[in-house]
């Protein structure tokens, strides 16, 4: 059991280490802090705490990557449509929040 937890922690620590840039380090640091806070709320100790924090951090980093990819995709769509200023900001916000698809369905009467 201890080996499994140690391996999980090693993977959780080593995987993000390959990412470049200070922003990624700040995101990881914030994620670790948030996950430790959640572990405190649940009164987790020892191996259970380590396993919880390692899993929590890896999930958070994966979500950050998905959101970053979503922003890139939405910025590209806005550029393809030739949107500028407030219209561009609103389109990107809706796109990232996935509200754009819901709005289209409502407008089509679905």
High-pLDDT (> 90) share of the chain, %: 17
pLDDT at position 19: 46
pLDDT (tens digit per residue) in 27-58: 778 888 889 998 998 999 999 999 999 988 88
Residues 52-73 have a mean pLDDT of 81
pLDDT at position 57: 86
pTM: 0.42
Number of residues in the chain = 110
């Amino acid at each position: 059991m201890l080996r499994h937890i140690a391996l999980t922690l090693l993977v959780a620590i080593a995987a993000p280490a390959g990412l470049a840039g200070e922003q990624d380090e700040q995101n990881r640091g914030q994620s670790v802090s948030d996950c430790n806070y959640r572990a405190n709320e649940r009164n987790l100790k020892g191996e259970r705490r380590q396993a919880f924090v390692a899993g929590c951090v890896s999930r958070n980093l994966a979500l950050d990557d998905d959101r970053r990819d979503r922003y890139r995709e939405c910025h590209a769509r806005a550029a393809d449509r030739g949107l500028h200023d407030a219209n561009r900001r609103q389109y990107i916000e809706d796109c990232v929040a996935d509200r754009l698809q819901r709005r289209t369905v409502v407008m089509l009467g679905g």
